[in-house]
Structure 1
Amino acid sequence: MLVEGFLHSQGDTRVITRNTGTENEAILIGERSDSPVRVLVAAHGSSTGFAALNAGTADIWASSRPVKSSELSQMAGRADLTELASEHVIAIDGLAILVHPSNPVNQLSIDTLARIFAGQISNWAELGGRNEPINLYARDDRSGTWDTFKSLVLRKQFTLDATAQRYESNDQLSDDVSLDPAGIGFAGLASVRNSKVLAISDGAAPALKPNQLTVASEDYPLARRLFMYTPGERTTPLAKAFIEFALGQEGQEIVSRSGFVSQTPIAVKPELDGKAPSTFKRLTGNYQRLTVNFRFAEGRTRLDNKAQRDLARVMSFLDSHNQSADDVLLIGFADAQSNELRAQMISELRALSVRKALSTKGLKNVAYTGYGHYMPVGTVGGDSGQQRNGRVEVWVRTR
């Protein structure tokens, strides 16, 4: 969809799609007056995408997981795939946990989910469901969806049970789960189809279902970024133009139509969990929350690559809604620290970092505050807690 939209934006009056004879591959041909542009799109899993980029047989590597350290090393002589010029977040996806529509179970913790897929919990009656064996549905080993599930759910503590049925296709997996009253599986948010989606909790944080706010803000514990990687300064002009198209407004509209979650901010009034402090409810009473969180790379205050592009997206939202710095409130959060004061200081520093970054874009003197380690969205402590709980939310005044 993105390639077709891009070719049309380049002036191609018609785009023809042809099969290559290989499953999950297509050639898109854009007709133009001088010479046609041919684009091969091959979808065989994130690891094979990197292999093609590394071998020089692909200009762009699409991946549903971040680049691995081993892949970074292989490309080190040509490009740093962690740099802004190489790493591009195209969309946000929610890893949906799927069951049959008649299943009475509505939510699970990540730990319980891991034990289910490891075969340690094997009957729905153990979870408050019907007395019947649990049937497992999982993506195959070449899939970025599987990499994400393994990383976020199984981690290094659990191994997928050998009875699980494996799939190359998200859609086919979801269709089969929707026909099996005892089934449970996982797929990308765009592939929910006729299955029921469960709410998922991480640690003491509230259970959340994947939706526009929880996924776009990455509060949902099984949210993931969808990437495209290019070889930095070695990227071809046409590939660079395609990336900019995909990141721009027209490309992000295509992302929304595809069923994934666009990075274009919208303002929503969230339903705050009962654990939210009363002071927080009063503070945000006259505000709506944007569907974007600023998150950080190494250290506690350096914005990551997505956040650097999100600065421009926030500015664009404010311009289109005739709102100014006076209408914006930044609220920083931290993971648990050695004491409450330290967490408060870190959360304020994070909010101040975003404030300074927005100032360089022309938005001066934005109000900011910190909420320390309160209202976590992930397990406290460890890499996951630091990455997910350490965030800055953006709130805009209700008009």
Structure 2
Amino acid sequence: MTTTPAVPRGLAGVVVTDTALGDVRGREGFYHYRQYSAIELAQTRGFEDVWYLMVHGELPDRAAAADFAARTAALRTLPAEVREALPAIARAGAGAVSGPLAGLRTALSLLGASAGFRPVYDIGAEQRREDALAACAAVPTILTALHRLGRGLSPVEPREDLPHAANYLYMLTGSEPEPAHARAVEQYLISTVDHGFNASTFTARVVASTGADLAACLVAAVGALSGPLHGGAPSRALDTLDAIGTPDRIDGWIREQVLSGHRIMGFGHPVYRTEDPRSRMLKSLAQGFGGPLVDFAVEVERQVEAILAELKPGRELHTNVEFYAGVVMELCGLPRAMFTPTFSAARVVGWSANILEQAEDSKIIRPAARYVGAPPPQPVPAP
């Protein structure tokens, strides 16, 4: 009789493969892309440099950086078949909670078909990289167009002369962004490119292990991200601030939520057992802007951590990336409906890097499940 090894729920802590892309060291409050601190990269480099690092395994020199930025900027314009379909996709998803994120699944499928993406199993590494670059460059254009179309506005065509983050804000608003806003969003995007084997990244790799085309892998990842337990918390964290309203209501509101068993959005993380380094960086960015929203968020953080320490002793519960991400994006003029889509515009680079890495391994990911139903075989009853 073959016995199936016991594993923790959700595969927590189970190592399923080797990767050279990065890691999350939760007890240390540290994560990295390749051999570099992700936070240090966000503080010192541009988005295109980090994108290059994830694809090529090294940071570019100035010449390579300029060439890569020009190549990817030229890929921002959507194929005609995709562009023409976006109004219908936007109309179909107008009432959906996930809005542009739901539309992205359809648009990515169409992009893969119109661009002729072939199964990663059937093509070489160079073509896989080209497909990945095309998809990653197109995602911000798709998301911003769907957002604007959903509000009765015309899409804004991408500009090749703007860096990745600035172009994203330009396509979203129709105006060239303030440099401080563009840089803050860029740092947020860099900090969320990759983060270990989270649900969407693992999903992308599972589909890649079947040899499917790159668009299929990304559609699956977007589907995983759309779940509120994964990518939906930035706007919910701001909703918490709205629900509290004023500093004098913080203590009573938080205690009521905790004692009722409700989760405080923006606090706690399944991996980190100390402060989330992304939250620390984004808090610093928010405080650089200043203002009533930032002051209120800082006070809410202080009181929530104190209350959680009192009511849940022994547990390390701090702000995660979503708490201050929502604050920073609000300050930079992004609508809340675009918080999670903006996250996906960054994470698509990490997903693609994981897909490329997985495609080098021809072994399909095929785990087992332990059957716990009625003992078979049972006689089939007569009709």
TM over 0.5: no
- TM-score w.r.t. length of structure 1: 0.28
- TM-score w.r.t. length of structure 2: 0.29
The structure showing larger relative contact order (alpha-carbon pairs under 8 Å, at least 6 residues apart) is 2
Q: Greater share of strand residues, 1 or 2?
A: 1
Q: Greater share of helix residues, 1 or 2?
A: 2
